[in-house]
Each structure stands twice: as structure tokens, then as C-alpha cells.
Amino acid sequence: MKRVGFQGGSSIFELGMASDMVCFFSVIREKTELSGSDLLILDRLFRRYLRLEDLKGATMFMLRSKECLSGISNCIVELESLGWSSNNSCLDTTCLSYAEVFIKYFEGFEYCVESAKGFYEDWGVYKPVRTIVCDMPDYMVEKLRPLDEYDNLGPNDPPFWLR
């Protein structure tokens, strides 16, 4: 299974196995109240990339999601129903809440958003926040993938990091 994480600006934040990332997105989708704009942001981060104009809303969305998940007790049975598997997982399922289980995902997202903003401020070039494969040589292919390929993904196409 591939190791994945978030990328933004000049930073990569490796988080763990692709199946853990799928579970992260599934927990947010199933356990938080999502508006239409939240669903778009979640889909962009899952399947595509965040545009510069998405960063403020995406940051607020992730903060709300983290806050919401901090009040929901972790349940391994529910994690399994959302796609989690203990095989090769990097998640600490002994944590009390979902926010604690996925704390490094929230931190990694914030780190990559700040890196993307800083890179844009320093160099005038936006390197988008996105979910990416961290394993070599797959990362080298992803690093060079044009954003047009992400834009051309259909609603039923799997994200590149899951292929």
C-alpha cells in the first residue's frame, strides 16, 4: 500500500497509508455536518487540489471538522465500516476521540497550507495544497503532474494518489 500525505508550497507532510487517508476523509464526511461549500472543499482536497482562493475556506472547514470530531468518541467498529483496516495502519486507535486519532492529519494540512501561502508570498508562485503519494518513484511522477490532469478528473474517477 502506498504512503501518502499532503503537499503545499515547498513542503510535504507524510501521514501514512492510503487506506488511513481514505478513512480520514470518510470520518469527516460521515461524522461532521457539511454544507455544500464544505463538500466542494473536501472533494477538491480528496480528488484534486486546493486553489489559492480555497485556502481560507478550507482552513476554516478543517478547524470546524477538528472541533466537531473532538467531541465524538473513537469507535474501531465505526472506523472499520468507514474503510479502516488495522493491517499496515499508522493510526493510533487507542485515542479517545476522532480528532485525536487524526491529529497529525489536521496538523499536516495546516503545515502545508502555511507553506503554500508562504511560497506564494515569497516567490509569487502558488504551489497548491493537495493529497499526494509520498513513495518514490511515484512521488516524482506526481510532482510533475500538470494541474490540468487533476481538473479533468470526473466525479467517479479515483484520485491519483489512490491509483
> What is the per-residue pLDDT across 121-152, written as a single tens digit (0 to 9) for each?
999 999 999 999 998 888 888 889 999 999 99
Distance of CA 132 to the CA centre of its chain: 9
Residue 84, Cβ neighbours under 10 Å: how many? Answer: 23
Instruction: Write the CB contacts of 122 (distance below 8 Å, at least 6 apart in sequence).
Output: none
Question: For the segment 10-48, what is each residue's pLDDT rounded down to a tens digit?
Answer: 999 999 999 999 999 999 999 998 999 999 999 999 999
Average pLDDT over residues 73-83: 79
9 closest CA partner among 117, 141, 131: 117
Q: Contact 64/106 with Cβ under 8 angstroms?
A: no
Distance of CA 163 to the CA centre of its chain: 16
